[in-house]
Amino acid sequence: MSFPNLSALAVKERAITLFFLILAVIAGIYAFMALGRAEDPPFTVRALVVSAYWPGATPEEMQQQVADRLEKRLQEVPSLYKIETSVRPGQVSLQVEFFDHTPKAQVPDLFYEVRKRMQEEAVSLPAGVMGPIVNDDFADVYFSLVALTAPGLPMRELTRDAEALRDRIRMVPGVRKALILGERSERVFVEFDPVRLNNLGISPQAVFQAIDAHNRLLPAGRLETEGPRVYLRLDTDLSDLDELSSVPLRIGDRLIRLSDIATVTPGYEDPPGYLVRSRGNDAMLVGVVMESGVNGLELGERLSRFIAKERETLPLGMNIEVLTNQAEAIAGAVSLFQVKFFVAIAVVVAVSMLAIGVKAGLIVGVAVPLTLGITFLIMLLMNINLDRVTLGALILALGLLVDDAIIAVEMMLVKMEAGWDRVRAAAHAWNVTAAPMLFGTLVTVAGFIPVGFAQSAVGEYTGNIFWVLGIALVVSWLVAVVFVPYLGVKLLPDMPAHHGGTAAYQTPGYRRLRAWVTWCVVHRKTVVFATVGLLVVAIVGMATVVQKQFFPASDRPEVLVSVYLPQGSSMTTTDTTVSKIEALLAPDDDIRSLSAYIGAGAPRFFISASPEMPNPAFAKLIAVTHDAKARDRVITRLQQAIASGAFPEARVRVTGLLYGPPVVWPVAFRVVGPDPQVLRDIGHAVRRHMQANPHILDAHLEWDERAPQLHLSMDNARLRLLGLTPLEVSQQLQFQLDGLVISQLRQNIRTVDVVARMQRPWLDDTQAQADALGQIEILTPEGRKVPFAQLGQVETRFEEPLIKRYNRQRSLMVQADVQGAQPNDVSASIWRALAPVRDTLPPGYALQMAGTIEESGKGESSIQKLQPVMFAAMLVFIMLQMRSFSGTFMVVATAPLGLIGAVLALLLFNQPFGFVALLGLTGLAGILMRNTLILTQQVADNFEAGMTALEGVVEAAVQRARPVVLTALAAVLAFVPLTLDTFWGPLAFVLIGGVAVGTAITLLFVPALYGLWFRIRAA
């Protein structure tokens, strides 16, 4: 290598080398302590939610008058990927998602574009529509969820305490945001006695006007004096409920108080829109969002101390409970890394000591933490945290970064055995191995280019694998050519000299290897075609036999319980089912915390746990157990209860967390088209095919029900004769059933709606509820009472309780769980079976794959797009080193052969092939080409030394056998601890199988390929 000999320089200037070695150790320790800790890498959720409300509107009216208009404006925003719309009576929610390849720096601008267009469209929406409201906090991942409960204390008092707690938490260093979740909107109810109201002959509207007149804040004028400007103030504040009860009402010449005809009581939104409970008690949550780059372990400790202090000052009966805490997951991941790190170092050192001696193994053992220390320092400078991805990449790097150190030490040993002194041997290691090691390292790094630059959600999530591995491997080369020669000069023992250095390769083991390699060269066609045949078998096996998945299941201890009632069910019905589940789980000793979320999903406490949209027929329970084994026990017990029919009124689904992008149901198919009944027919056909698959569990349609509604057909002419209008009828009905907002009270920092309604004694009487409409009377302007039944014909009609739309088209999802197989395999099998359904679809209808296979397709396609770039970079590095087409071909030919070992390992250990395993397979090509590159360089050196073709090829394999086998063995054993990790396990198995078989390929197939290429004949 024409570059200055760094190895010779390092052993010449030993004091400087030692100084930098010590400095690297100290800097590495400091960097490791200073690096930020997080559960997951920084990730931009490119989604937000837009909501709008129109009380009284049917789903069809919401779709036509609100949803369609908002969707049209949203489609003007650039980089839009999809809009998923849920329309229910009086409300619409639109989940807006942008393309994965959208640069995260542009996301705030896109959110602004959405807000701007929604504000512009708001003025053109029908009167009475509230919103649209843009929620970009939807993407927040909560570091911790803290529940505040106080059984028996009014929720409005608990809300004030929660606000104070939020303000104090916000002051904790490292907290970016603290939000109150689960707050119930306060109301003040004025409930009228219908008998007294009618006997006094006073109309409700007159009462409403009187209340508003005593509460409205209006200017009362001012006086301009020679001194100050003096404002005139009036008492127009009814925030005190006693003041509200005392509002005077005039009836002829008499004055009465509001309390004479109505009761004034504080309360909450009725029915509630969203309920949160902790251990069965009403709760307020404070969600904590961590600052980017903060050490999560340290923030977790600060929050623990803060919560401990808060508990000491809590009023009697009030409790604080931490429901979820990322610090625990981070601590577990870091501890696991440290254990696996020391195990990997011990394995590498032990293998090195057994193969090349105690002191040589010790040098390799020193090189590993030295490399990682410098890597930590560069990570700190690049603002890369320690998280799930980078920790896995570092453990992965442990199996690769030893290669350069072993090669350098082994070359020194070979030359010292040939009679060279230490300094000369150290300098020679640079001349022979520095360039092949560097280009081999760059080839390995290039194998992970698709991961580092993939424009997708999974690419952003796993992208730091490329950077961390690249840093670690380049640093390992630097350590191998600078510090390893220095340590070799200091630590390697004296070697007995062998004439010419060839005696070291004449041991029985080397002689047997030489015979095998010679046989492979002589029978080159057999070896090459047999290898190609194995590759074809591996490709077929990967396509057919190997299980497929997207991302593996998480090892976190949470149990997720999703409760689905028939669409259109009330919050009360949903709450009743949730209470039954809470009662079942409450005494379970395996559960540390239990929280319930009724009417919508849980906040995003895990990056892959996307909150479900508001739905009165849905609830979510989160049970946090002590560990993964306890989680599995809880899941088993709960599934047994469900199977025994404990909750027949609902679909109750129990799952754990999954890594990767959010996927609600693993197997799903989307039907799109205009007519809901045709969508149902197609959906039922799809479900029948799904149910025919033995691995499908609980196949169902996302919506299928039609909800009953009461429709009053009125004779408008007769209504006018009574002096009434549809508006007045609807207002009176609303007043008697739900209530009317007639004013707002100003209470400190809040405004509380005043809701007027009739007393409803029939609410607590099931029999009376059935005849509720029969008790309603409408008051005419003349004071006459008209029974509700006389207003017109009351009919029971059915309407869609839910309208789902996907990119402005009506959609229906047919979805299911999977048992005994991987979702991708099951989805592909069902898709093939659905061919007759797809072929007979009416015009305007489409059937699309959804679920796991849709998301995995996005991630894998982003990797595949960059594979040409990866291969081009590899070819450049290989060509720069080999400087010949034949040598480059030899190296490239081994790239796909790692698939043989990878498929074998996946099948032997029953592991699925998913996105994480794809990363390993992509990088495996670089690892194999690196070994081949060093071997082919040795062949070229032997040819230059004057060896014959056969001798040069065979001896090259023999000479490189010890470092190749040693590095492969160290890598395989270093990857073994990674196989126990749920996230990185499939990748570890791919690399173990690929590297093990790749070693044999390097030593046996490459010589045979040389023999075939150069037509080498036996001597």
CATH number of the domain that residue 486 is part of: 1.20.1640.10
**Domain boundary at 492, 525, 557, which?**
492
16 with 58, same domain: the answer is no
- Averaged over 727-750, what is the pLDDT? 83
Encoded tokens for 317: 């009966």
Distance (Å, rounded) from C-alpha 155 to C-alpha 147?
13
Alpha helices, H only, 492-523: 508-522
* 3-state SS, residue 865: helix
User: What average pLDDT does the chain have?
Assistant: 85
Per-residue model confidence (pLDDT) at position 967: 77
361 with 484, same domain: the answer is yes
Examine the pLDDT at 453 and tell me if it is beyond 50: yes
Category of 790 on φ-ψ map: left (φ > 0), alpha (ψ -120 to 50) or beta: alpha
Structure confidence by residue, pLDDT tens digits, 786-798: 887 777 788 888 8
Per-residue model confidence (pLDDT) at position 332: 77
DSSP conformation class of 659: S
Let me know if residue 392 belongs to a domain: yes
Per-residue model confidence (pLDDT) at position 156: 81
- Averaged over 526-532, what is the pLDDT? 89
Examine the pLDDT at 763 and tell me if it is beyond 60: no
List residues bridging with 619 in a β-sheet. 563, 598
Let me know if residue 452 belongs to a domain: yes
- Averaged over 201-213, what is the pLDDT? 82
134 with 222, same domain: the answer is no
393 with 443, same domain: the answer is yes
- Averaged over 595-614, what is the pLDDT? 87
Per-residue model confidence (pLDDT) at position 764: 55
Per-residue model confidence (pLDDT) at position 780: 78
pLDDT range class, residue 1, cuts 50, 70, 90: very low
Q: Which residues contact 916 (CB under 8 A, 6 or more apart)?
A: 462, 551, 552, 983, 984, 986, 987
Q: Among residues 514, 826, 777, 473, which one has the least CA distance to residue 668?
A: 826
Measured CA to CA in angstroms, residue 464 lies from 446, 453, 873, 927 at distances of 14, 10, 19, 18
401 with 483, same domain: the answer is yes
Let me know if residue 20 belongs to a domain: yes
Structure confidence by residue, pLDDT tens digits, 554-584: 778 889 999 999 988 888 899 999 999 999 9
- Averaged over 63-71, what is the pLDDT? 93
Measured CA to CA in angstroms, residue 356 lies from 352, 362, 510 at distances of 6, 10, 15
Measured CA to CA in angstroms, residue 442 lies from 72, 472, 478, 951 at distances of 49, 11, 12, 30
Examine the pLDDT at 385 and tell me if it is beyond 80: yes
Q: Which residues contact 309 (CB under 8 A, 6 or more apart)?
A: none
Let me know if residue 447 belongs to a domain: yes
CATH number at residue 207: 3.30.2090.10
How many Cα atoms within 13 Å fall on the side-chain side of residue 457? 23
pLDDT range class, residue 1018, cuts 50, 70, 90: low
112 with 58, same domain: the answer is yes
**Domain boundary at 260, 281, 305, which?**
260
12 with 54, same domain: the answer is no
pTM: predicted TM-score of the whole model, two decimal places: 0.82
Let me know if residue 384 belongs to a domain: yes
Dihedral sign computed on CA atoms, order 297, 303, 304, 305: positive
The domain total for the chain is 3
Structure confidence by residue, pLDDT tens digits, 500-517: 455 566 778 778 888 888
* 3-state SS, residue 233: coil
CB 666 within 8 A of CB 553: no
381 with 472, same domain: the answer is yes
CB-count exposure of residue 672 (10 Å: 0-12, 13-18, 19+): buried
Distance (Å, rounded) from C-alpha 779 to C-alpha 1019?
116
486 with 395, same domain: the answer is yes
Structure confidence by residue, pLDDT tens digits, 297-324: 888 889 999 999 988 888 888 889 888 8
119 with 244, same domain: the answer is no
- Averaged over 861-865, what is the pLDDT? 78
363 with 486, same domain: the answer is yes
Let me know if residue 224 belongs to a domain: yes
- Averaged over 921-942, what is the pLDDT? 79
State which residues form the domain around 116.
46-139
Distance (Å, rounded) from C-alpha 957 to C-alpha 350?
24
Let me know if residue 864 belongs to a domain: no
Q: Which residue has the higher pLDDT, 504 or 709?
A: 709
Distance (Å, rounded) from C-alpha 637 to C-alpha 581?
12
Distance (Å, rounded) from C-alpha 407 to C-alpha 273?
66
Examine the pLDDT at 110 and tell me if it is beyond 90: yes
CB 491 within 8 A of CB 362: yes
Distance (Å, rounded) from C-alpha 326 to C-alpha 387?
11
CATH number at residue 56: 3.30.70.1430
**Domain boundary at 424, 458, 492, which?**
492
Examine the pLDDT at 261 and tell me if it is beyond 60: yes
CB-count exposure of residue 246 (10 Å: 0-12, 13-18, 19+): middle
Examine the pLDDT at 772 and tell me if it is beyond 70: no
CB 841 within 8 A of CB 847: yes
- Averaged over 359-385, what is the pLDDT? 88
Let me know if residue 121 belongs to a domain: yes
380 with 487, same domain: the answer is yes
